């Protein structure tokens, strides 16, 4: 059977499964809608958290990014896993004990102030929307690649699917669908990895194969380092970023992970404090399976790519190369006219993406109009590595189709989780807690469903008309979360003396500082400012790593301001003492 037929079959089966679950787990009350009734087992919650967490970016882009970044790619691996240690040790148990629905709920009650709650809601909306915009685009790309439809049609299909299960089931439906999606995505990620590891190193476990030997007896990583040096790249295992910047980015990603509202809210869904700790551990275990395999895939595919294309005649290159060239994700310009592909360090293009002319060259390649003067002749889009890997390694068609189903599961589960947080922020934190406290449960549920509908439309529009800054901003959502929520929550638990003045000042200074740095050094301000170059960075900190500095500033401001103003009231201090002990958590409550 062809890849296409297999794709339809596998995507069809998995989608039927997701819908079945969504209908079975319909939500009847706000509690079921927001926190799945607080009755999810730690195992199911762990899987759901893992699926929620691992987006299209983790599934499709990360291994590709690492394969081009080498050691520098470690920032994603450590940054996006180490945050769970912070979550499990410093946040999850206490927030579960506190027992409300949302992060702004905690901030509002702990800091006895609706201003604090509003600041938290705004931060949550900024973080979640920047994040979800990238996801919808990811959904569109995956659908368009595999179902051979236009990318915008892909986004619309994705929107409809997310809408159905989020609308019906709320958190309950989403949680159980995510459990199924986790199983699909991890299976889809591991199967090709086993095959390729076996092929290249004779060891079926990719984590071990990565450190194994290739044909001829050399270690795989040594061979890759040698290849890199010969072609003028930096050694794969060394990287190019400064040690400080690697440090700062890793810390910003870790802390940002622990501060993301759609991740934190997952720990409100389990019955007891004990379960919150345990499910954080299980979530990380499930995530680690993918995150320790990704760097192995990166090494395999990098080696495969170099060996397959470097100095080979274009005429004799395998079919996958030409297929991806047709979709515009690979480009080759025969600059020295020898008909061979020269792949060395340096950019093959002026600008970021290839600009194709309609014409074909003497070898049958697509001509590009923006080839640079550098020796390098090859452009490869980083996103194709995971998708093309099974083809490069000549794996069976069903494996290639499986990757499509996995990519869809990853993108949909994350989008659904995020949309739920957005709708909760609006219906619960804004309408119920501030605008109209008298609203009935039915009314609130309706408001939640309407806001999820609106949120999906907006997210879909972002996906269809992606503003240029979205891609740049998604990575920075972590910096924003690190600079705003994380210190306010941690200090709220560990510093009894922290008061509302301190926390509000800290959150505002943190998020504004981060936004300004982002605009000044990364995105620019449309028409007015161009982003400043690398040489102007403060202490050599990239915008991705700046969350670390903004977070430290937040903490300092919070502590200084709180010590200069009145201590929080007696009952708040008692609340803090109460969340520090695990017993008597009860159910997640509305009051």
Partner 1 sequence: MSDQKKHAKAYWKENLKYLIILLAIWFIVSYGCGILFREELNQFRLGGFKLGFWFAQQGSIYVFVILIFVYVRLMNKLDKKYGFDE
By the criterion CB under 8 A, which residues form the site for partner 1? 66, 71, 73-74, 77-78, 81-82, 84-85, 88-90, 93, 207-208, 210-213, 219-222, 237, 243, 246-247, 250-251, 272, 274, 277-278, 280-281, 284-285, 288, 291-292, 295, 577, 580-585
Which residues are within 8 A (CB) of 230 and not within 5 positions of it... i.e. 6 or more apart?
A: none
- Compute the least distance from the CB of residue 174 to partner 1, in Å: 24
Q: Count the neighbouring beta carbons within 10 Å of the beta carbon of residue 285.
A: 13
CB of 263 closer than 8 Å to CB of 53: yes
- Compute the least distance from the CB of residue 288 to partner 1, in Å: 5
207/397 with CB nearer partner 1: 207
Which residues are within 8 A (CB) of 201 and not within 5 positions of it... i.e. 6 or more apart?
A: 209, 210, 212, 213, 214, 220
- Compute the least distance from the CB of residue 260 to partner 1, in Å: 17
Calpha distance 474→478 (Å, rounded): 8
Alpha helices in 36-150 (DSSP H): 42-53, 56, 62-69, 74-86, 92-98, 103-110, 114-147
In a 3-state reduction of DSSP, which class is residue 194?
helix
285/454 with CB nearer partner 1: 285
Q: Output the six-digit token pair for 94.
A: 């206490």
- Compute the least distance from the CB of residue 168 to partner 1, in Å: 33
534/580 with CB nearer partner 1: 580
Q: Count the neighbouring beta carbons within 10 Å of the beta carbon of residue 270.
A: 28
530/577 with CB nearer partner 1: 577
161/276 with CB nearer partner 1: 276
Calpha distance 44→329 (Å, rounded): 38
Q: Count the neighbouring beta carbons within 10 Å of the beta carbon of residue 363.
A: 15
Q: Which residues of 478-499 are buried (b: 16+ CB within 10 A; e: fewer)?
A: bbbbbbbbbbbbbbbbebbebb
524/582 with CB nearer partner 1: 582
78/183 with CB nearer partner 1: 78
- Compute the least distance from the CB of residue 333 to partner 1, in Å: 33
Calpha distance 197→282 (Å, rounded): 26
- What distance lies between CA 211 and its chain's CA centroid? 27
249/418 with CB nearer partner 1: 249
- Compute the least distance from the CB of residue 220 to partner 1, in Å: 6
- Compute the least distance from the CB of residue 284 to partner 1, in Å: 5
207/363 with CB nearer partner 1: 207
138/479 with CB nearer partner 1: 479
Calpha distance 415→128 (Å, rounded): 10
- Compute the least distance from the CB of residue 246 to partner 1, in Å: 5
Nearest to 47 by CA among 172, 180, 191: 180
The phi and psi torsions of 364 (rounded to 5 degrees) equal: 95, 5
CB of 355 closer than 8 Å to CB of 370: yes
- Compute the least distance from the CB of residue 586 to partner 1, in Å: 10
Q: Output the six-digit token pair for 138.
A: 């990811």
Radius of gyration of the CA atoms of the chain, in A? 24
- Compute the least distance from the CB of residue 84 to partner 1, in Å: 7
């Amino acid at each position: 059977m062809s890849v296409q037929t297999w794709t339809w079959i596998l995507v069809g089966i998995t989608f039927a499964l997701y819908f079945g679950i969504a209908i079975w787990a319909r939500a009847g009350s706000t509690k079921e809608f927001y926190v799945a009734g607080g009755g999810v087992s730690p195992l199911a919650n762990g899987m759901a958290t893992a699926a929620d967490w691992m987006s299209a970016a983790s599934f499709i882009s990360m291994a590709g990014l690492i394969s081009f970044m080498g050691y520098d790619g470690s920032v994603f691996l450590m940054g996006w896993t180490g945050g769970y240690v912070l979550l499990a040790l410093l946040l999850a148990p206490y927030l579960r004990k506190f027992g409300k629905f949302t992060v702004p709920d905690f901030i509002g009650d702990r800091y006895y102030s609706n201003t604090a709650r509003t600041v938290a809601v705004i931060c949550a909306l900024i973080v979640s929307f920047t994040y979800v915009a990238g996801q919808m685009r990811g959904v569109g790309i995956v659908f368009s690649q595999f179902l051979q439809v236009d990318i915008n049609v892909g986004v619309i299909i994705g929107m409809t699917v997310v809408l159905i299960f989020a609308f019906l089931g709320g958190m309950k439906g989403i949680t159980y669908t995510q459990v199924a999606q986790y199983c699909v995505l991890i299976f889809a990620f591991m199967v090709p990895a086993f095959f390729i590891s076996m092929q290249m190193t004779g060891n079926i476990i990719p984590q071990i194969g990565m450190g194994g030997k290739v044909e001829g007896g050399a270690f795989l990583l040594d061979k890759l380092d040698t290849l890199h040096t010969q072609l003028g790249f930096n050694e794969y295992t060394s990287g190019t970023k400064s040690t400080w910047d690697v440090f700062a980015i890793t810390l910003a990603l870790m802390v940002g992970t622990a501060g993301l509202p759609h991740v934190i809210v997952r720990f409100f869904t389990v019955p007891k404090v004990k379960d919150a700790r345990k499910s954080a551990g299980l979530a990380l275990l499930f995530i680690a399976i993918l995150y320790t395999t990704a760097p192995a895939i990166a090494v395999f595919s990098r080696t495969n790519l170099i060996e397959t294309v470097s100095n080979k005649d274009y005429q004799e290159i395998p079919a996958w190369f030409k297929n991806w060239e047709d979709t515009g994700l690979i480009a080759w310009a025969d600059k020295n006219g020898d008909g061979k592909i020269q792949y060395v360090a340096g950019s093959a293009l002026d600008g970021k993406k290839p600009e194709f002319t309609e014409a074909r060259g003497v070898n049958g390649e697509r001509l590009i109009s923006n080839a640079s003067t550098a020796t390098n002749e090859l452009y490869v889009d980083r996103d194709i590595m995971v998708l093309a890997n099974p083809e490069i390694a000549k794996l069976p068609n069903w494996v290639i189709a499986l990757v499509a189903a996995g990519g869809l599961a990853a993108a949909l589960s994350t989008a659904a989780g995020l949309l739920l947080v957005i709708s909760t922020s609006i219906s619960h934190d804004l309408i119920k807690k501030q605008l109209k406290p008298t609203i009935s449960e039915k009314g609130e549920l309706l408001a939640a469903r309407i806001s999820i509908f609106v949120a999906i439309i907006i997210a879909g529009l972002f996906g269809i008309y992606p503003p240029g800054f979205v891609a740049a901003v998604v990575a920075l959502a972590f910096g924003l979360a690190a600079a705003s929520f994380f210190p306010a929550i941690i200090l709220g638990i560990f510093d009894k003396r922290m008061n509302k003045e301190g926390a509000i000042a800290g959150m505002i200074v943190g998020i504004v500082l981060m936004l300004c740095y982002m605009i000044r050094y990364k995105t620019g301000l449309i028409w007015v400012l161009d982003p400043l170059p690398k040489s102007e960075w403060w202490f050599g900190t990239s915008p991705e790593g700046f969350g670390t500095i903004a977070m430290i500033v937040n903490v300092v401001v919070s502590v200084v301001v709180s010590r200069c103003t009145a201590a929080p009231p007696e009952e708040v201090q008692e609340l803090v003492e109460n969340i520090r002990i695990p017993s008597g958590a009860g159910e997640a409550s509305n009051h």
